[in-house]
Amino acid sequence: MCGIAAYLGQRLAVEILMDALRRLEYRGYDSAGIATLEHEKIHCCRAVGTISVLQRKLTDSPIPGSMGIGHTRWATHGSVTELNTHPHFSMNGKFAIVHNGVVENFASIREFLSLQGYVFYSDTDTEALVNLMAYHYAKEPANATKDRFLESVRKSLLHVRGTYGIAVVCQERPREIIGARNSSPLVLGIGKGELFLSSDVASFTAHTRDAVFLNDNELVHIKNDSFAITTLDREEVEAVRQQVDWDTVAAELNGYPHFMLKEIFEQPQALENALRGRIENETATAHFGGLQMTTDELRSINRIIFCACGTAWCACLVAEYLIERFARIPVEVEYASEFRYRNAPLDPKTLVIVISQSGETVDTLAAMREAQRRGTRVLAITNSVGSTIAREANGGIYQHSGPEIGVASTKAFTSQLCIVALLALHLGRLRDLSEAEGMEIIGAFKQLPSQAKSILDQSAHIQTIAARYQNCSDMIFLGRQSMFPVALEGALKLKEISYIHAEGYPAAEMKHGPIALVAPQCPVFCLACGEENIFEKTLSNMQEVRARGARTIVVAREDSPIGATDDVIWIPPAHAVTSSILATIPVQLFAYHMGVLRGCNVDKPRHLAKSVTVE
């Protein structure tokens, strides 16, 4: 959940690290800190709050050095205080560390070190780890044949249970940094005469596109302008360099007031990117280059399990509707955090598909590994090339949405919906979906980007609607069939961005309890733009809540007779395969405008981080 960065080169480290932390702030923003090393002295600056607070402190009291480490925090162990802010130091001041992850056995490590006379000043698990390194460093003979710094880190990590992505410096080794990872991302950036470490390539792509993604239980030892990678078992690892295709400009605001709004408006392009090269007109199907499955293997599938968390889980629910409808394959949707601990029956004809924008979501990664351990093939849908899930999956599909900085997912979500719709077409055409039906779906895909733009043109209208409801404390979102997951996503977005309590329900389920909540102060957001055979039933459900005093907002197709409502947002008529994508956009804009009108930080909602890399 936290963002870590490290730099070793010739430039002023604090400038490089501060730029990196700004790009990583979506991973955590309750506190931040930097430590640099010069002439065997560690300089440090830490601050509670956003990166801007740290910047003000550094402006007043700059710190020198051409190497250092930085951290932006999402608190796990210990409250948000300066003492709990990273970097953390060993009691003797020789070691400094930044850490993303959770040391599950920190209490026993801390107890052991306390008996050795070590004193602790924070409530964090990280301080136990850095003191353990100092303990092993002190035990290692100064004239040992093995590298004393590297061995102290290695031996300490062998005692750790949990997850970590770390960068460590040692006062007595002024031109060296050690990084290591286990279930928490860490990537090395290779520049000209300088090296970078980070939890996200976006932090250094302004300086280099040459990257090496570390695997679990690997350490990288940086010395001056060289590096070596080994495993915890001291085996040498050959570095696999990759060129990162990442547009740094795309991670800037470019005139928009918030990243969330910018990314909502980038959706027509993101949808084009998801579709590009994947439509085959001649065979009326979709094509994917990375599935790593033959046609016969795909035809033999008799069950699909989707696993994801949060917004991506809502995308899985849409996939369930589309694949069952167009490909006639039974689909189940699991929370990855639950699936990893279940003993779900799996067989060779079951396919598991995981969805993760970051490719680093810890529960989704664990669910994927569990399925693979049991011999099941796993495909991944992800936006991050080189991510752990992308590297470890048996095959997959990249979203190509570009960087998404806003914590609340927008363009990545609709891109996921587009890809699962393409997958439904692909699997359907391998079975009994006719060529005519395939061409009809392809026609819908071709209209999708322009239709998305037409909805974005209604942003001011949606803002006007949001202004009428900004003071409500509760809201209900209703939808049926493929609109039900959109209702869930709408409720989630409103909760994330505006802190309004919201719930999503299948529209017909209102009568089974939730209708008791209906009142004038609890508006109902109704998605009446799904399958035609249940359109009238959805309207009836809406009228039931209106009859009990609820104000209603309706998303409906331009050609639909919707009857009485308080507010309406029109979307273009669309095929069932793309309607959920189009219905999502007004929901996103509504949540965005509600959050802004209520004075919330829509890019950095409280208590949330973009990539959940701790359990």
Cross-sheet strand order for the sheet of 195-198: 41-48, 31-38, 67-73, 3-8, 195-198, 187-190, 210-213, 241-243
d(CA 411, CA 113): 47
Instruction: Return the SS3 of 389.
Output: helix
Structure tokens at 585: 């956009």
Which residues lie across from 48 on neighbouring strands?
Answer: 31
Active-site amino acid positions: 2, 610
How many CB atoms lie under 10 A from the CB of residue 185?
26
Contact status, residue 99 vs residue 178, Cβ threshold 8 Å: no
d(CA 180, CA 155): 12
Contact status, residue 613 vs residue 100, Cβ threshold 8 Å: yes
Q: CA dihedral defined by 129, 135, 139, 145, rounded to 10 degrees?
A: 40
**Distance in angstroms between the alpha carbons of the first and the last residue of the chain:** 10
Q: CB within 8 A of 36, min separation 6: which ones?
A: 13, 14, 17, 42, 43, 44, 63, 64, 65, 67, 68
Give the helix, strand, coil percentages of the chain, each rounded to 5.
40, 25, 35
Give just the sign of the alpha carbon dihedral 496, 497, 499, 501. negative
Residue (of 63, 10, 16, 61) closest to 41 by Cα position: 63
d(CA 215, CA 388): 7
d(CA 586, CA 247): 27
Structure tokens at 310: 């949060």
Instruction: Return the SS3 of 305.
Output: strand
Q: Among all chains, which residue has been given the structure tokens 């990583």?
A: 24
Q: What is the 3-state secondary structure (H, E, C) of 504-533?
A: EEEHHHHHHCHHHHCECCECEEEEECCCHH
d(CA 359, CA 388): 6
Instruction: Return the SS3 of 377.
Output: strand
Contact status, residue 317 vs residue 270, Cβ threshold 8 Å: no
Cross-sheet strand order for the sheet of 218-223: 88-89, 95-103, 162-170, 173-182, 218-223, 226-231, 236-237
Contact status, residue 473 vs residue 521, Cβ threshold 8 Å: yes
